[in-house]
Amino acid sequence: MRVTMVGSGYVGLVSGACFADFGHTVTCVDKDPGKIEALLAGRMPIFEPGLDALVATNVAQNRLAFTTDLAPAVADADAVFIAVGTPSRRGDGFADLTYVFQAAREIAKALTGFTVIVTKSTVPVGTGDEVERIIREANPDAEFAVVSNPEFLREGAAIDDFKRPDRIVIGLEGERAETVMREIYRPLYLNQAPILVTGRRTAELTKYAANAFLATKITFINEIADLCEQVGADVQQVSRGIGLDNRIGAKFLHAGPGYGGSCFPKDTLALVKTAQDAGTPIRLVETVVAVNDQRKRAMARKVILACGGAVRGKRIAVLGLTFKPNTDDMRDSPALSIITGLQDAGAEVIAYDPEGIEQARPLLDKVTYAADAYACAEGAEALVIVTEWNAFRALDFARLGRSMAAKVLVDLRNVYRPEEVERHGFAYTSVGRGEG
C-alpha cells in the first residue's frame, strides 16, 4: 500500500517508520524544512529507542521517504494519515484542531482517485465529521472516506507498541474504507492483534476514555500513597495487593510525583471540555486533573520538608527531568513544577537527565546542568530522584556520601528500598511508605 503521513512528529514519524517496516511505501510530510532536512540526514527530531535504526533501514530500502511537498505525496497515496499536533487550546483546555483542519484543506486539493483520510492525531468526538465536511467543501468531486485510527503508543516503547499492539481501533463508515485499513494492518495478522472496527465517533472517544482511565489509576494510587504515609502502610504492597486482581491489573499503579507528558494532561482536559459542552460533565476526570496539578506542586514541599523545612541558599540536586524515562519529552513533566517550587523557596538547583537537558533549557531558568548523576550530586544538600531512568537505579551511595554536603535522598519514584539507602547513612524520603 502507498501511505502518506502528514506530520513527522512523534506519532507521524514512529507510525510512518513502522508502516514502512511492514513493507508499505511511506512518505512522511512536514511543513518544517529543517525537520525534513534533518530526517534526510538521518537525524531524529525526538529520542525514541530504536527509531533511528528503523528509519535508516527503511530509507535504505526505499520504503520510507521525507518531503515538504504534500501534493504529490497525497496524489499517489491509498491512505493519508493526519498526524499533526492537537495541543490544549489556551483559555479553555479544548484540543486545538487548527493543524488538523489545515491539513484537511491541503489534502483535499491534492486528492486523485479514492483515498482514505485517516485521523491519527488525538481529536475530540466529531472531528472526523468536520474533516469530512472540509474536504467535501474544498473538493466536491473527490472520492474519499474519513477514518479515525487513534494511536496508543507509550513514549519510550512506541515501536514495540505499534508492532505488538493490544488492539487496533478503526472508526469508519463504509466497507471500502474498511478494506483499505485492514490491508494496511494486515502484516500484524500473525501477531493476532485484535482489530476493533467501530463508528468514527466511538473510535475518537475511545482514545480519550483510555487515557483518562489510566490517568485516573495513577491519581488514585498517588492519593492512596498519601494515606499510606499517614497510617503507616506501604503503597507498593498495596499496589501489588490490588494489582494482582485481574479486574484491576498492576499497570499504572506506581505512586510518584504525578503524570505528565504529551497525552494525559491535554487529553484529560479535552475530555473534560467535551463533556461539559455536551452537558454531561465528567466530575471524576475533573477531579483527576485538579489532584494531579496539586500533586506536582506538593512534591516540592516534600523535598523542602526532607531538608529540614527550608532550602533557602541550599544546593539541591535533581536527577531526571523528562516526564518518564526513555524519552526526551519535557511536556508537563513533574520536574518543571518541582524545580520551580524549589527555586521559589530559595534553593539553587542543579540537574541531570540522560536525554532531556536540551529540551529543559528553554523551560527552566537559572538551573545548572551536570554531565552525570555524580557531578550533579557534588556539594548538594539533597538529591532528588524525579524520573526513574535506569542510570539512577544502582547509584554508588558511598561515592555520593563522600561528595554531598548532606546525606539526604528524596526518592519520588520509590526506586530504592529504605534500608539499603539508610545503611549508608542517608536520610531517606520516599512516596507512600509509612512506618508500618
Which residues carry out catalysis? 263
Tracing cell 505488538 back to the chain, one arrives at: 164
CB contact at 8 A, 194 and 223: no
Q: Cα torsion for 244, 245, 251, 254, to the nearest 10°?
A: -70
CA distances (Å), origin 338, targets 152, 264, 344: 28, 18, 10
Walk across the sheet containing 25-29 and list its strands: 64-67, 25-29, 2-6, 79-82, 115-119, 144-148, 168-171, 195-198
Whether the CA torsion 238, 244, 246, 250 is positive or negative: it is: positive
Which residues are CB-contacts of 306 (< 8 A; sequence separation ≥ 6)?
A: 382, 408, 410, 427, 429
Q: How far apart are CA 206 and CA 248, in angstroms?
A: 19
Residue 67 DSSP SS3: strand
DSSP 154: P
CA angle 383, 385, 389 (to 5 degrees): 135
Q: Which of 276, 280, 349 is nearest to 314 (CA)?
A: 349
**Which grid cell is 44?**
531524529
Residue 98 DSSP SS3: helix
**Which grid cell is 83?**
498526524
Beta strands at 115-119 and 79-82: parallel, antiparallel or unpaired: parallel
